[in-house]
Amino acid sequence: MGDDGYKTKLIETKKAWARAGRLLTGETAEHGVDRLPPGQRLVENWPVLDLGIQPDVPRAEWRLLVGGLVENERRFDWDSFIAEPQVDILSDVHCVTQWSRYDNRWTGMTTRHLAQLVRPHADARYVLFSSYDGYTTNVRIEDFLEEDCLLAHSHDGTPISREHGGPVRIVIPRYYFWKSPKWIKRITFSAEDEPGFWEERGYHNLGDPWLEQRYD
């Protein structure tokens, strides 16, 4: 996919940062020791980052297809999604553009519950995401199945707004926030890894903020 129609200037700036290795402090922090990862600053507000497209997907029209290397492909609409067990999970957000936001309370279905429903094959090693704005990203299956990962529909007790990725977004707290796709449309379990939008544009394939894995 090209960058046509996206917020081209921002994308060019972020690609240039990746090339220059900007924002790397050279420090490392051990996960869980310091709460703020190296090179990050704490914010109280919640910045919006996207490609300049914020798809308007009403709950009634939202569909999510979960497939690929699974025993039971599933297609969710809002009612079937919300009928599954719901949990609240508190986590911190770390964006590669250097802001972090503590104590976000997300409500939704855990990725572990989803995996129980679809039953990924043993050779599924990666999880690939695609969204209603055309955004894509990728994680390893073991990271997707960490116990704090979920498909979230609410944040701090209110439905996730359109700008923040409602009706449903993925939350994968241990990585930079670009690994948490908004407006989720499709989840594919795969034997092969496939770099997503930012991974193809100079960003790290994993994106662990504690190791400052900002750029490739």
Ligand X SMILES: Nc1nc2c(c(=O)[nH]1)N[C@H]1C(S)=C(S)[C@@H](COP(=O)(O)O)O[C@H]1N2
Q: Which residues bind ligand X (CB under 6 A)?
A: 46-51, 95, 131, 133, 135, 164-165, 177-178, 180-183
49: contact with Mo ion by CB under 5 A: yes
Q: What angle do CA 216, 54, 160 make, to 5 degrees?
A: 95
State which of positions 78-97 bind Mo ion (CB under 5 A). Answer: 95-96
Examine residue 10 and tell whether it contacts Mo ion (CB under 5 A).
no
For the chain, helix, strand, coil in percent to 5 are 20, 30, 50
Shortest spacing between CB 187 and ligand X, in angstroms: 13
Residues 6+ apart with CB under 8 A from 192: 126
The partner in contact with residue 203, picked from ligand X, Mo ion, none with C-beta cut-offs of 5 to 8 angstroms by kind, is none
Should residue 43 be labelled a site residue for Mo ion when binding is judged by CB under 5 A? no
Q: Give the residue with the Cβ less far from Mo ion, 24 or 191.
A: 24
Q: Please report whether residue 11 would count as binding Mo ion according to CB under 5 A.
A: no
Nearer to Mo ion, 23 or 117 (CB): 23
* Secondary structure of residue 64 in the 3-state scheme: strand
Residue closer to Mo ion by CB (options 21, 58) is 21
Give buried/exposed letters for 2-35 (b at 16+ CB in 10 A, else e). Answer: eeeebeeeebeebbebbeeeebeeeeebeeeeee
Strand 184-190 relative to strand 126-131: parallel, antiparallel, unpaired?
Answer: antiparallel
Do residues 98 and 142 touch, judged by C-beta distance below 8 A? no
Interacting stretch for Mo ion, rule CB under 5 A, among 45-53, 147-155, 164-172, 208-216? 45-53
Among ligand X, Mo ion, none, what binds residue 50 when CB lies within 5 to 8 Å by partner kind? ligand X
- The residue (of 110 and 137) whose beta carbon lies closer to ligand X is 137
- 162 to each of 28, 58, 59, 121, 138, how far by Cα in Å? 35, 9, 11, 33, 22
Nearer to ligand X, 133 or 199 (CB): 133
Residue whose entry in the numeric block shows the structure tokens 């809002």: 78
Contact residues toward Mo ion (CB under 5 A) are: 49, 95-96, 178
